[in-house]
């Protein structure tokens, strides 16, 4: 009887050891995926900043003197705060486009948007008239996954419209502030 019990215990120990090794492998894969997502988020945020910088530069080249500013002036992938909020602002003559975004709580999410995303945020447009009327429209901002890469999309919840975050979007939004 003791022999059977010892053999059964030995088999259970072997299964336990295999399970532990399998678990360690899954944990390592999850860590690699989290590191990949972190790097992807940093790159995506830097690309978002580059799009804003390109827009600001394009507008300023058409002005007699530079009047449009982007804050922060520089942003590297390593500058991305995770956890925490990241903020970009485009300012001119008392008007502001305020972008605030952060990493999702999980590696990817579909809580607020139907396409899986890794960064979520809000875009607010402000000028004195809007502040006086307490009217600060918000557009949602998402960095969505697509075939090994990502794309920045905006969603206006008032009219249920999805648009890419690009130069055209920035022109339309900034025209509202003028």
In this prediction, residue 132 has a pLDDT band, given cuts at 50, 70 and 90, of low
109 has pLDDT over 60:
yes
20 has pLDDT over 70:
yes
CA-based nearest residue to 121, from 129, 109, 130: 109
CA-based nearest residue to 107, from 33, 43, 32: 33
What's the confidence (pLDDT) of residue 4? 65
The stretch 12-34 carries a mean pLDDT of 84
Reported as type and span, the H/E element at residue 47 is: helix 2-62
DSSP 96-109: EEEEEEEE-SSSSB
The stretch 119-135 carries a mean pLDDT of 82
CB 117 within 8 A of CB 134: no
pLDDT digits (tens, 9 = 90+) for 45-92: 999 999 999 999 999 999 999 899 999 999 999 999 999 999 999 999
CA–CA distance, 41 with 129 (Å, rounded to integer): 35
CA–CA distance, 98 with 112 (Å, rounded to integer): 20
143 has pLDDT over 60:
yes
In this prediction, residue 42 has a pLDDT band, given cuts at 50, 70 and 90, of very high
128 has pLDDT over 80:
no
In this prediction, residue 15 has a pLDDT band, given cuts at 50, 70 and 90, of confident
């Amino acid at each position: 009887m003791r022999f059977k019990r010892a053999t059964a215990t030995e088999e259970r120990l072997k299964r336990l050891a295999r399970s532990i090794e399998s678990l360690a492998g899954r944990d390592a894969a999850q860590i690699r995926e989290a590191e990949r997502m972190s790097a992807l988020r940093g790159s995506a945020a830097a690309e978002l900043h580059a799009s804003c910088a390109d827009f600001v530069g394009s507008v300023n080249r058409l002005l007699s003197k530079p009047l449009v500013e982007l804050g922060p002036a520089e942003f590297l992938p390593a500058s991305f705060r995770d956890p925490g909020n990241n903020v970009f602002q485009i300012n001119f003559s008392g008007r502001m486009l305020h972008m605030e975004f952060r990493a999702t709580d999980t590696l990817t999410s579909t809580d607020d948007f139907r396409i899986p995303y890794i960064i979520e945020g809000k875009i607010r447009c402000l000028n004195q008239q809007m502040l006086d009327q307490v009217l600060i429209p918000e557009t949602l901002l998402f960095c969505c996954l697509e075939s090994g890469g990502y794309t920045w999309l905006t969603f206006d919840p008032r009219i249920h419209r999805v648009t890419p975050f690009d130069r055209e979007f920035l022109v339309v939004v900034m025209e509202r502030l003028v």
